Amino acid sequence: MTKTILRALAGERLPVPPIWMMRQAGRYLPEYRATRAQAGDFLKLCYNPDLAAEVTLQPIRRFGFDAAILFADILLVPQALGADLWFVTGEGPRLSTVTTGEGVAGLRPAGAVHETLSPVYETVRILSRELPAETTLIGFAGAPWTVATYMVAGRGTRDQGPAHDFIARDRAGFQALIDLITGATVEYLSAQVEAGAEVIKLFDSWAGSLRGRDFDDFAVAPTRAIIAALKARHPHTPVIAFPREAGPRYEGFHKAVGADCVALDNSVDPDWAAAHVQRDGCVQGNLAPGHMVTGGQALIDETRRIVRAFSGGPHIFNLGHGITPDADPENVRLMIETVREGA
């Protein structure tokens, strides 16, 4: 029998939606923290195929999710393009910055990323062998806009202001950066599929800060280009797109980019999304991650509400953003039980 997530992505309405969770391998799990300590630091964990596979498998063993998502980081692509990357404990990633067209021209070409990223492909190969037969393996990358915002600012920012400033100052230079990341992302994701990934997800975590033409040029167009290129190489591999906080631009996003599924953040009303987004195909989401901290009846009620809202069409249950480090694993278990018991 075809795996449940693949059935949903093909447009099938299932009586119980399949479920996985963004950042399901992460700091809320004690076994993850132990493995990360063994690795030494976050980047060493990402580039150690055996340990990266281990943390990918941990939530599958504990919870029995319907999918595993490759453990890696969206900023490995900029590193593979020549940016310096390091992580500051308690503060997050830092990168050397790219703020001019000349800086973009000094980066490596898109096809040169494989040397740096080859350990990630080995992680995928390990997972494709070791995952349970019923569990779908999801590969991923950051969408070009989101990756670019980090490359320009050198870190995460509240409003992605440095990237917007680059656009205002030198739109052609910024477009060159987007084009380079787009090409590199196609190479990276295609190699993940060749190594065994069955589904691809594109995370555009900062899409919500784009408006009008900028949303079309820097969220829609590169995502469409990546999906088209992947479909040309791997026509049977479904793609989930996540333009977080896109608001009304979620409507029509399936068709605009060619995605098999659109993931929804938790600011989106499920009833609205069922009427305006799910009509074009599978949707994924969208429980607020805070419920994984607070639990209780509110978690049960909201989980049931989301399942009911999307029960008329193809749906993959997930959070509306990644689970946070302060989450209680028992609340994850409660969420899964609630979904699988039915609304």
Going by the DSSP 8-state scheme, the letter that residue 292 receives in this structure is H
The bridge status of strand 67-69 relative to strand 315-319 is unpaired
- Catalytic, out of 28, 47, 121, 150: 150
Cα–Cα distance for residue pair 246/253, rounded to 1 Å: 9
Cβ-based neighbours of 341, under 8 Å, separated by 6 or more = none
Kindly report the number of other CB atoms within 10 A of residue 236's CB atom: 9
Reduced to 3 states, what is the DSSP secondary structure of residue 61? helix
Greatest Cα-to-Cα distance within the chain, rounded to the nearest angstrom: 56
- Catalytic, out of 7, 13, 33, 36: 36
Q: Is 23 a catalytic residue?
A: yes
- CA of 42: how far to CAs of 39, 46, 72, 88, 191, in Å? 8, 6, 9, 10, 22
Q: Is 73 a catalytic residue?
A: yes
- Give me the residue label for tokens 């009304």: 248
Q: What own/partner pairs with CB < 8 Å and gap ≥ 24 does 336-340 have?
A: 336/19, 336/63, 336/64, 336/65, 338/299, 338/300, 338/303, 338/304, 339/16, 339/17, 339/19, 339/303, 339/307, 340/16, 340/19
Cα–Cα distance for residue pair 162/253, rounded to 1 Å: 26
- Catalytic, out of 66, 73, 260, 280: 73
- Catalytic, out of 23, 224, 244, 249: 23
Q: Is 27 a catalytic residue?
A: yes
Is-contact 314 307, C-beta < 8 A? Answer: no
Least Cα distance to 228 among 198, 210, 202 occurs for 202
Cα–Cα distance for residue pair 230/226, rounded to 1 Å: 6
Tokens of 33: 């923290």
- Catalytic, out of 7, 13, 27, 108: 27
Active-site positions read: 23, 27, 36, 73, 150
